[in-house]
Amino acid sequence: MASADSPTPVSDPRFRLSPTVARELSAEYGTPLYVVDEAHFRARIQRYRAAFLAAYPQAEITFASKANSTLAVIALAHAEGCEIDVASEGELRAAIAAGVPASKCHLHGNNKQLGELEFALSVGVGKIILDHFGEIETVAKLDRPAETRFVIRLAPGVDPVTHAKISTGQADTKFGFNITDGSAEKATQRALELGLNLLGFHCHVGSQLLDPEAQRSGGFLIAEFAAKIARDHGFIASYLNVGGGLGVKYTDKDEPMPVEDYCRLVAESVSEAVKGSPLENVPFSLGQEPGRSLIAESGVTLYSVGVIKTVPAKDRGTRTYVCVDGGLSDNPRPVMYGSKYTVEAIRANDWTYTTDGPGAVMVDPSESTVTVSGKHCETDKLFEDISLPSDLAIGDLVQVLCTGAYNSAMASNYNRYPRPATALLRTDGTHILVQRRDTWDEMFARESVPSGLVS
């Protein structure tokens, strides 16, 4: 967790850096800088696993590595007992490079290429989640190790309350087999006809769910479908996976459901759906695939403040821009999804506290409404209309909370900016670089200038 001089309110679950550690890290590794706290991440996994096991004895947690595929993060998740969800050959290779056996990995993807499937089977991937009829036919023709099992992804027809771009469980989706139009049943029959080692069913309704109803409905519908298949076709699923999706506290206004309540509701909905069916007394495994909800709150991003300028604005008279040394290439989520974050200043002088210790609160009577912008050749408004200290100056730092998920994983070299480094805060209080900043040589290594282009 945060160190003793951190201003973390007791009720706030998000990791943040103390001013002392933030300045130490920025001085050693530079900014922009991703920071992940090992103790916080481990504790989050432990709490999630304990909650799910309490709700369902045959529970299984799989870390969705798409949220953060940094090797050290994957290794930590595996060390805490998670299997690893991978969405590409690259993520599978990352998991293997992090020391995870392929047998502990689940391969997802709505359009897996033949080479990806062949590679996954050659290394003995544990589960392949089947997404369309062509994929069923393809894998049936390939050499398949006995340890690889197959899971059919379902589209349960659930439309969650979340951003449209991270909603995946509705009927109109590129993912999986639709239950209502009969595709899911036909896919199951075909997989069984072809002799695939079918394990069960999977669904994922969406991400950043603050309302649990969609996930509860998804769990009920997937279990109801499995019960129907058991009755009508005699296939007894030994594995159901309801995906991930539990929301996190990006801003002070976000109030995710406690993970204990969330897991209980999911497990209850699944158990309710199989009552009176051949599955009722079958000890099938029940899986979840959290990604964001495990790693997001364990990470922050540090930026250095550069130019601060006030300009005319039609709607308010003036607007003040605080420009930082990063932007949409290290956090594309604001421009993609309109995502909001909590941003805190770390000034040249230490903060003043009303109390000592981890419950300390910053005293700052003078704040201004500003827009934090990046340095890219775009509008690049990272965080619009937020409050920061009025005396913020060039060279100060800001830390953005809850950036452990989908920041490092989605970073790019837009405008030829190097992707940031990632520092890991160890449980003993030390820190180490686990992902270094891009070098210029690496940035241009894939390119060449053919002879004759330059006179």
Catalytic residues: 377
Rounded Cα distance between 140 and 193, Å, is: 10
Give the pairing of strands 127-130 and 198-202: unpaired
Give me 143's structure tokens.
Answer: 């050499």
Q: In degrees, to the nearest 5, what angle opens at C-alpha 374 toward C-alphas 370 and 379?
A: 85
d(CA 434, CA 17): 18
- Give the closest residue to 248 by CA, choosing from 40, 25, 17, 19: 40
Integer Cα distance of 189 and 193 in angstroms = 6
Do 422 and 56 meet the contact criterion of CB atoms below 8 Å apart? no
Half-sphere exposure of 336 (CA within 13 A, CB side): 14
Estimate the crossing angle of helix 183-193 against helix 133-141, to 10 degrees. 10
Cβ-Cβ contacts under 8 Å for 450 (sequence gap 6 or more) = none
Distance, CA of 45 to CA of 60 (rounded, Å): 12
Is residue 312 within 8 Å of residue 266, measured between CB atoms? no
Element (H, E) at 399: strand 397-401
Look-up of token digits 């060449």: 448
84 is written with which tokens?
């690893």
Residue 319: its H or E element: strand 317-324
What's the 3-state SS for 89-132? HHHHHHHHHCCCCHHHEEECCCCCCHHHHHHHHHCCCCEEEECC
Cβ(70)–Cβ(422) below 8 Å: yes
Structure tokens at 176: 């999986």
Residue with tokens 């995870």: 100
Instruction: State the alpha helices, DSSP H only, in 108-236.
Output: 114-122, 133-141, 183-193, 213-233
Buried b (16+ CB within 10 A) or exposed e, 337-361: bebbbbbbbbbeeebeeeeeebebe
End-to-end CA distance of the chain: 58
